[in-house]
A = this chain, B = another copy of it.
């Protein structure tokens, strides 16, 4: 009397059912929420000193608003990097984003930057400045463009979209940036980055023969 068909006392069965439901609920609750952020541009000019100042600084005296904007959100995402930042950026002229990348480099984050050979030499390009700061930069050697505009933070978070890292694009264009962390999206971009990084290794550059 008091034993169930499975040979267990009924109270154990009730506990078993409750435990199964509890495990399912905890598993659903503990699964980290996937990261999905969409940023649209243009983004109004804003002061990023509070994010980018290296020492806790006095409040910046500039008249720009310290608003939460698409640009400030993008900068925050980049600044979350602790170990690595892999960048594939077609056109890079925005001083604020260059400062962000430089800051990460000084913090010891491993920054690798791939860019387009034709655009890196244009006026306003931040590539030379970043190179002089010691950041590794590689570029294509093709007539086609290295037209990607993506970043991978800590090999875990993908930031991609239509936005070139230019002040013109940030302040004047209709643009989008998508931030996601699911591996099915991130992994192909990491692989593409590694493919390009190797392909653009300076050891592989070819130089036209120069006559005497």
Residues of A whose CB lies within 8 Å of any CB of B are 1-6, 8, 10-11, 13-14, 16-17, 20-21, 24, 34, 36, 38, 40, 42, 88, 90, 140, 142-150, 160-163, 168-169, 171-176, 178, 180, 182, 184-185, 188-189, 192, 196
Contacts and interface: CB of A to CB of B under 8 A. Distances in A.
A142 to B, nearest CB: 7
Nearest to A18: B17
Contacts of A163: 147
Contacts of A175: 147-148
30 contacts: A4-B10, A4-B14, A5-B10, A5-B14, A6-B10, A6-B14, A8-B10, A10-B13, A34-B182, A36-B185, A38-B185, A42-B144, A142-B172, A143-B172, A144-B171, A144-B173, A144-B174, A146-B173, A146-B174, A147-B162, A147-B163, A147-B169, A148-B174, A149-B162, A150-B176, A160-B178, A161-B161, A161-B162, A162-B162, A178-B178
Counted per complex, copies of this chain come to 2
A157 to B, nearest CB: 14
B160 A176 contact: yes
A42 B143 CA distance: 12
A42 B20 CA distance: 50
Contacts of A176: 148, 150, 160, 189, 192
Identify the interface centre among A11, A16, A173: most chain B CB within 10 Å of its CB. A173
Contacts of A192: 40, 176
B21 A11 contact: no
Contacts of A2: 1-2
A184 B184 CA distance: 16
B1 A5 contact: no
Contacts of A21: 20
B17 A13 contact: yes
Contacts of A140: 174
A147 B6 CA distance: 66
Identify the interface centre among A1, A142, A146, A147: most chain B CB within 10 Å of its CB. A147
